[in-house]
């Protein structure tokens, strides 16, 4: 069975990060091997949470895995608390990123035109280094712009893009995706883009590589929910090591999450709790 090393945080409440990745990757027939970056009582969208940084423990786990001869087929890295953890991931790649191992980077840096509290220029620079080593990156639009331009320029760019017509906005996103792929030499998927077309709103995901771009769209429903980006990246990481075409994986992920959000809206679940994805896991087989 193929194996993916999943480098991400573990939150007890709020379905995201490792609690989202492990069931998704497992049901897709790939063994998920978690390497926690932090342990939290609940994800950080809640008013209160306990946080235990795992930077030093990461090194200990890596040494044990090296002694065991661990040889993953893929590496999927998500939330990193800072530049020091990013250095641990770069070391992990040096040790375990053998020829043939594919890497997916979900660069957790910001959303909705602003950086997260964890953001530093040092962390962003490390994310750029990781992006150059990756096979696939899955930023949202904010993260794509942060990778390309940093936080000093992003507010001006975001304001300009927000004022564009729907058609011009899509064209600007496509230019951003093209530049992202060319800059880092990867397949890039810019995720979770609100698109207004013919008075309806869809959720778009833009795939870009050296061949051009492809849009994958689903009906927009509900608001923003914890963990949807983690679910998306998890589907892509499993498809990556199985050799699935990226457009097929993106479509599968988008459909899966769309159905989960639909159930979540019907249930009236708080956004911090995550989405009701469990009963749709069988569709990922």
CATH number at residue 181: 3.40.1190.20
Percentage of the chain beyond pLDDT 90 is 95
Confidence of residue 62 (pLDDT cuts 50, 70, 90): very high
The boundaries of the domain holding residue 236 are 3-284
User: What is the dihedral angle through the alpha carbons of 199, 203, 208, 214, rounded to the nearest 10 degrees?
Assistant: -60
- Confidence at residue 136, expressed as pLDDT on a 0 to 100 scale: 98
Buried b (16+ CB within 10 A) or exposed e, 247-279: eebbbbbbbbbbbbbbebeeeebebbbbbbbee
Spatial distance between the Cα atoms of 221 and 238, rounded to a whole number of angstroms: 26
Confidence of residue 77 (pLDDT cuts 50, 70, 90): very high
- Confidence at residue 223, expressed as pLDDT on a 0 to 100 scale: 84
CB atoms within 10 A of CB 102: 18
Yes or no: say if 97 and 75 are a contact pair by the CB < 8 Å rule: yes
Spatial distance between the Cα atoms of 177 and 179, rounded to a whole number of angstroms: 5
Share the mean pLDDT of the chain: 96
Which H helix or E strand runs over 264? helix 246-267
Q: Domain count of the chain?
A: 1
- Confidence at residue 99, expressed as pLDDT on a 0 to 100 scale: 81
- Confidence at residue 30, expressed as pLDDT on a 0 to 100 scale: 98
Q: Looking at the predicted structure, is the pLDDT value of residue 198 above 80?
A: no
Q: What is the pTM of this model?
A: 0.96
- Confidence at residue 158, expressed as pLDDT on a 0 to 100 scale: 96
- Confidence at residue 166, expressed as pLDDT on a 0 to 100 scale: 92
pLDDT in tens, 242-258: 999 999 999 999 999 99
Q: What single string gives the DSSP state of each residue in 207-250?
A: EEETTEEEEEEEE--S---TTHHHHHHHHHHHHHHHT--HHHHH
Q: Looking at the predicted structure, is the pLDDT value of residue 28 above 80?
A: yes
Percentage of the chain beyond pLDDT 70 is 100
Spatial distance between the Cα atoms of 54 and 149, rounded to a whole number of angstroms: 29
> Half-sphere exposure of 278 toward its Cβ, with a 13 Å CA cutoff?
4
């Amino acid at each position: 069975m193929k194996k993916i090393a999943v480098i991400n945080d573990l939150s007890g409440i709020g379905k995201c990060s490792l609690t989202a990745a492990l069931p998704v990757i497992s049901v897709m027939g790939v063994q998920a091997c978690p390497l926690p970056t932090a342990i939290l009582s609940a994800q950080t969208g809640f008013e209160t949470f306990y946080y235990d940084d795992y930077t030093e423990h990461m090194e200990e786990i890596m040494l044990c895995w090296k002694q065991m001869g661990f040889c993953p087929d893929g590496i999927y890295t998500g939330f990193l608390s800072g530049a020091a953890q990013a250095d641990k991931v770069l070391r992990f790649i040096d040790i375990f990123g053998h020829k043939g191992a594919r890497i997916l980077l979900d660069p957790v840096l910001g959303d909705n035109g602003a950086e997260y509290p964890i953001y530093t220029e040092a962390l962003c620079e490390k994310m750029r280094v990781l992006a150059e080593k990756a096979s696939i990156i899955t930023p949202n639009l904010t993260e794509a712009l942060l990778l390309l331009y940093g936080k000093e320029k992003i507010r001006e760019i975001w304001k300009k893009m927000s004022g564009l017509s729907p058609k011009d906005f899509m064209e600007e996103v496509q230019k951003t995706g093209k530049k992202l792929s060319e800059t880092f030499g990867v397949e890039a998927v810019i995720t979770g883009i609100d698109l207004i077309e013919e008075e309806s709103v869809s959720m778009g995901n833009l795939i870009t590589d050296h061949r051009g771009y492809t849009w994958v769209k689903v009906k927009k429903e509900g608001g923003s929910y914890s963990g949807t980006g983690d679910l998306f990246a998890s589907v892509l990481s499993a498809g990556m090591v199985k050799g699935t075409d990226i457009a097929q994986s993106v479509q599968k992920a988008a459909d899966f999450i769309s159905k989960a959000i639909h159930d979540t809206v019907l249930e009236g679940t708080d956004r911090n709790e995550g989405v009701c994805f469990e009963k749709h896991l069988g569709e990922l087989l």
